Amino acid sequence: MTPQLQQAIRLLQLSTIDLQREIQQALESNPLLEVSEEEESATRPEQRDETPASGDALRPEQTVDDPQRPEQTTSDGPLQSLEQTASGDSTEWDSDTIQMTLPDELPVDTQWEDLLPSASAPPPSGDDFSDMDFEGRNSASDTLREQLLWQLNLTRLSDTDRLIGLAIIDDTDGNGRLIMSLEEIHDSISADLDIDLDEVVAVLHRLQQFEPAGVCTRDLQECLLVQLQQLPPSTPWLEQAKLILSRHINQLGSGDFSQILRRTRLKEPELKEVLALIQTLDPNPGQSAVPDAIEYVVPDVFVSKKNGRWRVELNPDIAPKLHINSSYASLIKRADDSADNTYLRNNLQEARWFLKSLHNRNETLMKVASKIVEHQRNFLEYGEEAMKPLVLHDIAEAVEMHESTISRVTTQKYMHTPRGIFELKYFFSSHVATTSGGECSSTAIRALIKKLVAAENPRKPLSDNKITLLLEEQGIKVARRTIAKYRDTLFIPPSNERKRLV
């Protein structure tokens, strides 16, 4: 592959955040690339309305509903291929002294700005970020181990007990559960400390009083019981909850409530209250101690409905408006082989390639997004149950590109819709046959399973076989194994674990 093609492919698969970083690096390394001034962008709409640029191959907004509209993405419409755009008329400079005029395939001021219609400036570089990391300064970055060590240092213990506490904390995982038995912990430190197992147990009970409640426990049962022990004695149904967790946790896990009612002599309304208290406990207290890092998603495409038509628009803030510095370009002399002239000429060529690669990326993204919206219009109207089967080959055939290109352009690219923000790959799914001879998307089947489970009787939850029969009544043929697989992907437990008292 040529360097130009390699660069185009690399930019195509970059996420929005990575693309902004790549653009910033290009601006810093290439003096012929610069960001358009606000004054230039303010006059651009008038220029586009009066005399559209010949190389304006990408419109920032398209309508996918009406194929007769000029904004519609078609193979022979305004979204032309990069080769078609580059084959337009070009004006070459042939004098050593005349001011250079860039070819039409790479306009200096307006056309590439139309392609990259962002009003935002490039992100600052270097130390400019030092005073801007507000989230990093205020975020909870401590691990569970650091929090436990901090509490250990504030606890009055002997040197020996402190060393035992350090060993226990080192063997506690991120969920707050011990990964080694007390005997193994005792054996690992008894060579250096002359201690008994009872001393390790005593320090363990001390650490189990640390926050968050339930840490440094050996199993789920002990974790929940420790949390109950830290509740006020006046808590309603506290003793009954301790009884169920200590003696009937297996029946609780399997949903055998009739057995629990018989053995505890509780009535059904009382058992409901006890179970409500148990459900307030955290089976993995360590995870709540350290919140997950927030990941921000910047949508590449906006989809909205205006006047009864779905419109697809590029996010205007994903990249700054770039063009080539005409002042530097005018200094290039054709027959001059000096170091300065060669440097400018090489950077000019690299700037052309970079802008063409950006053009190709945005053009391909608009083509693919428009075809996806056109195909999944029912999903936008009615939700997941109306999702249609779609594979990469369908879009590749519609936009006349290779499947590998579609795979790259749909990875880490996000679409903002009235139903939420989705990765472009979300709209692709396999299919199963229907009794009418049609096809049903696997995404739609998952939505139907979720709907059926949400409406089931908690006393008699639907089995996978029953869900299979219900879907077959709707004309959807799905094997029971497939239902179980889809249910697992939705994090829906089996029917025996979903059984509840109401």
Residue-wise pLDDT for 57-98, tens only, equals 344 566 665 444 434 433 333 333 333 333 333 333 343 333
Q: Which of 375, 400, 416 corresponds to the end of one domain?
A: 375
Q: Which of 239, 267, 289 corresponds to the end of one domain?
A: 289
Q: Is 266 among the domain residues? A: yes
Q: Is 196 among the domain residues? A: yes
139, 338 in Cβ contact below 8 A? no
Q: Which of 289, 319, 334 corresponds to the end of one domain?
A: 289
The lowest-confidence range among 53-62, 386-395, 451-460 is 53-62
Provide mean pLDDT across the span 414-430.
91
Do 343 and 248 fall within a single domain? no
**CA separation, residue 131 to residues 98, 294, 439 (Å):** 47, 19, 55
Provide mean pLDDT across the span 207-235.
94
State the residue range of the domain holding 310: 3-124+301-375
Tokens at 396, concatenated: 């590749």
Give the bridge partners for 33, in sequence order: 324
The number of angstroms, rounded, from the C-alpha of 414 to the middle of its chain's C-alpha atoms is 8
Q: Give me the pLDDT at residue 278, please.
A: 93
Do 359 and 458 fall within a single domain? no
**Helices then strands, each counted (H, E), the chain:** 25, 9
Measured distance CA(311)–CA(255) in Å, rounded: 49
Q: Give me the pLDDT at residue 137, please.
A: 38
| Model pTM score | 0.59
Do 187 and 244 fall within a single domain? yes
Q: How confident is the model at residue 374 (pLDDT cuts 50, 70, 90)?
A: very high
Measured distance CA(224)–CA(242) in Å, rounded: 9
* Residue 370, C-beta contacts closer than 8 angstroms, at least 6 positions apart: 62, 64, 72, 73, 312
Q: What percent of the chain has a predicted confidence (pLDDT) above 70?
A: 76
Measured distance CA(75)–CA(459) in Å, rounded: 56
Q: Give me the pLDDT at residue 38, please.
A: 55
Do 21 and 87 fall within a single domain? yes
Do 69 and 93 fall within a single domain? yes
- pLDDT per position as a tens digit, 101-125: 334 443 333 343 344 444 334 444 4
Do 319 and 252 fall within a single domain? no
Could you give the dihedral angle defined by the CA atoms of residues 202, 205, 210 and 215, in that order, rounded to the nearest 10 degrees?
130
The number of angstroms, rounded, from the C-alpha of 354 to the middle of its chain's C-alpha atoms is 27
**CATH number for position 491:** 1.10.10.60
Q: Is 137 among the domain residues? A: no
Measured distance CA(275)–CA(262) in Å, rounded: 15
Measured distance CA(241)–CA(245) in Å, rounded: 6
Q: Is 417 among the domain residues? A: no
**CA separation, residue 395 to residues 406, 410, 412, 418, 485 (Å):** 7, 11, 17, 22, 27
Q: Give me the pLDDT at residue 452, please.
A: 92
Provide mean pLDDT across the span 207-234.
94
Q: Is 157 among the domain residues? A: yes
Q: Is 268 among the domain residues? A: yes
Domain count, the chain: 3
